[in-house]
Structure 1
Amino acid sequence: MLALGTLLAGTAGVAACRAVPAEDFGRPTVTAPAPAVPRVSIQDGTIPSAAAAEGPTRLTIPALELNATVKAVGVDPDTGDFAVPPSVDQVGWYRFGPGLSATAGSIVVAGHVDSAAEGEGAFFRLGSLEAGDVATLTGPDGRSRTFRVTARERYRKAAIPLQKYFSREGPVRLTLITCGGPFDPRTRHYRDNVVITAEPRT
């Protein structure tokens, strides 16, 4: 999960995972340079305009045989964490950032890698995506937008550059985030975050 305060400070990662030990998940290699992103200012947490914040309802990734429901999520008021949907079969779109109609910024979708109770999550194989693989977001009206993967990166959760990935500025792109790296049986968490960047397909 993601603490809102640490999102802005950039001192913690997104813990979209549950507690199932697994192999070292999500290779740390970068498949292609990520889009250049200018330095961003801290946002005030208000929701963007209705047009920019139109939320997707479905994510499909053919390379993963993934067809997942997307829920609009924000921040858990009790914990301050990114409120990823509890079901591992669903993924969450960060509603405080750009939406399906965005012309700038990072459209963020996060999901669980796995669960002790439910098994593999929607993003279990996210770290296997390669440059050129496609991901499509679809809205409630059936309108869709397709993106092509340009980068696959892995960070320690304390080192992920959250302001880069949650930016409302710069070229529009899709950012997919889950847990990865070694699993710590003591804390029942993965050490890292796996981040996929995808640009609009032209």
Structure 2
Amino acid sequence: MRKWLGVAVLVCALTGCSGGQGEEQAGQSQPLSTVQSDAASPAANGTTALPASTPTEISIPKIGARSSLIPLGLNADQTIQVPPVDQPMQAGWYDKAPTPGELGPSIILGHVDGNKKPGIFFRLKEMAVGDEVLVSRQDGRTAQFKVTHVEQIAKREFPTDKVYGDTQGAELRLITCGGQFDQAAHSYKDNIIVYAALVPPVS
């Protein structure tokens, strides 16, 4: 298990998502622990990976999401930082984890909404097995990922090991808030988690 796993547990809170929900998402009920999966991922059983390189942009064609990527570290309480809630269309990558395309699970976070506007991952819940995620990198390469698993789960049941644990290949996790909006807590009750695996580059 990677050494940064222990300090990453509390990412499930994603408290920044509470900063002004969009009307279309707020209060919308979705089934708890909805799961789509495909055991046969392109890199699940191999070690195909790229060298480390800072990611610069994410593009998700199916949901029309595109954003530059800012590095996210840890807060003083050891929770993972989130992108600024007043810039809901900004996505960020957790810089203590592997970079996208590198061996292991890379983590990209985005808001479902914020400042009373839809966020970069507002439509993340629409992702399905086989969908494409593209991450541009500083080395000029674009890491292409294929979605293998989509999950909606209560924040109190966040699957820490599955999200942050070691993997046999280069993988990606996209995380945002979802489910019902808890007016009292000013946050969503669930997380939407998209799991994806690197598509091996054509040699």
Which TM class, normalised by the smaller chain length? 0.7 to 0.9
Residues 145, 83 of structure 1: alpha-carbon distance in 2 compared, 3 angstrom cutoff:
same
Contact 2:7 2:79 in 1 (8 A): no
Could you tell me which of 134, 138, 141 is aligned with 1:136?
134
Give TM-score, length-normalised by structure 1.
0.79
Map 1:92-131 onto structure 2 (within 5 A). 92-102=92-102, 104-115=103-114, 117-131=115-129
Name the residue aligned to 2:192: 194
Contact 2:32 2:153 in 1 (8 A): no
Distance 1:12 1:92 in 2: 13
User: How far did 1:141 drift?
Assistant: 4.0
Name the residue aligned to 2:29: 24
Aligned partner letter, 1:122: I
Contact 1:123 1:178 in 2 (8 A): yes
Residues 123, 32 of structure 1: alpha-carbon distance in 2 compared, 3 angstrom cutoff:
same
Aligned sequence identity (%):
30
Aligned-pair Cα RMSD in Å: 2.6
Structure number with higher helix proportion: 2
User: How far did 1:163 drift?
Assistant: 2.6
Could you tell me which of 134, 144, 147 is aligned with 1:146?
144
SS in 2 for 1:127: helix
Matched residue count: 181
Q: Which runs of 5+ in 2 are unaligned?
A: 45-50
User: How far did 1:33 drift?
Assistant: 3.9
Residue by residue over 1:51-99, the C-alpha shift from the partner in whole angstroms, topping out at 9 and shown as x without a partner, is 53x321100000011111111111123x433111102111111110110
Aligned partner letter, 1:81: T
Give TM-score, length-normalised by structure 2.
0.78
Contact 2:82 2:109 in 1 (8 A): yes
Residues 201, 180 of structure 1: alpha-carbon distance in 2 compared, 3 angstrom cutoff:
same
